[in-house]
Amino acid sequence: MASLTRPNSFLRKALVFQTFISCGVAIIFPYGTSVGDTKLTSERSPEINLDPPFPYYGGKHQTLQVYEDGFITLDDTQARSAYLFDQLEVEFPSIVPWLARMDAGLSQGEITYRLTTNTTVLNEISAYSAKFVEFINFVPVYAFIAIWYNVGTAYYDNSTNNKVNSFQVLMTSDGSKSLVLFDYIRVEWVFFGDISFYTDYDGIENFPQFAIKTEVL
Ligand SMILES: *[C@@H]1O[C@H](CO)[C@@H](O)[C@H](O)[C@H]1NC(C)=O
Ligand SMILES: *[C@@H]1O[C@H](CO)[C@@H](O)[C@H](O)[C@H]1NC(C)=O
């Protein structure tokens, strides 16, 4: 999983937090423990310091945390649950490439991340982002890269519920602007029901399993 492979088909979205959305050719960064990633083995990572702080919706955020359930929080020390996103207002800064119940402890797939100042990576970002008019001459000082690689749902089992997704998120900044890229490398399953409905049941363990089987697109 160290090598960089380019998938045949994928969906890519770039979000720049100044009303900017773009679809185009993906840039997928090397990932995995062999390039220095830390593996997420629990619900969320420790706090990771961002210096300079990461500008995002008017705030400048000094830390982030990665959650197994496909989201990242900024300057937020509380443990959060994916189901909070089902509420009308999410009252904490977050970046959410894929919201679903996933499990970093499962044998299937892995979630890894790193904060890097590797000049090769930063130069690649600079060259790539220059195609966006807001980012001509963008010189990032760090890149935070996380991947959910071949992850199934939290209910993954090899025989019946064995679809996997891979997606990568990049967060990068020069101290005054921030750029976030989402790369959807492989999408085999989609569901939202486990997030939106399990609060209706008496605990997620009672949520009916049939409702959350994966679907092939
Ligand atoms: C920086 O990243 C490049 C491309 O991923 C890699 O080949 C190189 O080994 C990295 N350099 C260091 C010092 O980690
Ligand atoms: C699923 O398959 C993987 C790889 O073959 C294996 O390591 C793992 O134990 C299996 N998990 C289950 C729940 O059967």
- Convert the pLDDT of each residue in 9-20 to its tens digit: 333 333 333 223
Atom of ligand 1 nearest to the CA of 30: 5
6-13's contacts with Cβ under 8 Å and 24+ in sequence apart are 7/185, 7/186, 10/183, 10/184, 10/185, 10/186, 11/184, 11/187, 12/181, 12/182, 12/183, 12/184, 13/181, 13/182, 13/184
Under 8 Å between Cβ of 171 and 180: yes
Percent of the chain clearing pLDDT 90 (strictly above): 43
Query: So what's the pLDDT on residue 108?
Result: 82
Mean pLDDT score, 27-36: 92
Residue nearest to atom 10 of ligand 1 (CA): 118
- Tell me which DSSP letter residue 44 carries: B
pLDDT digits (tens, 9 = 90+) for 160-191: 667 888 999 999 999 999 999 888 898 888 76
In degrees rounded to 5, what are phi and psi of residue 163?
-85, 150
Q: 32 C-alpha vs ligand 2 centroid, how far in Å?
A: 20
Determine whether the shortest distance from the Cβ of 158 to ligand 2 is under 6 A. Answer: yes
Say which amino acid occupies 4. Answer: L
Q: Per mean pLDDT, which of 65-69, 127-131, 162-166 is the most reliable?
A: 65-69
Task: Record the pTM.
Answer: 0.77
Mean pLDDT score, 186-205: 59
Ligand minimally distant from the alpha carbon of residue 107? 2
Helix (H) or strand (E) holding 148: strand 142-151
Q: How far apart are CA 103 and CA 110, in angstroms?
A: 9
Query: So what's the pLDDT on residue 216?
Result: 31
pLDDT at 74 over 90: yes
Determine whether the shortest distance from the Cβ of 157 to ligand 2 is under 6 A. Answer: yes
Query: So what's the pLDDT on residue 187?
Result: 85
Mean pLDDT score, 64-84: 91
Q: 150 C-alpha vs ligand 2 centroid, how far in Å?
A: 13
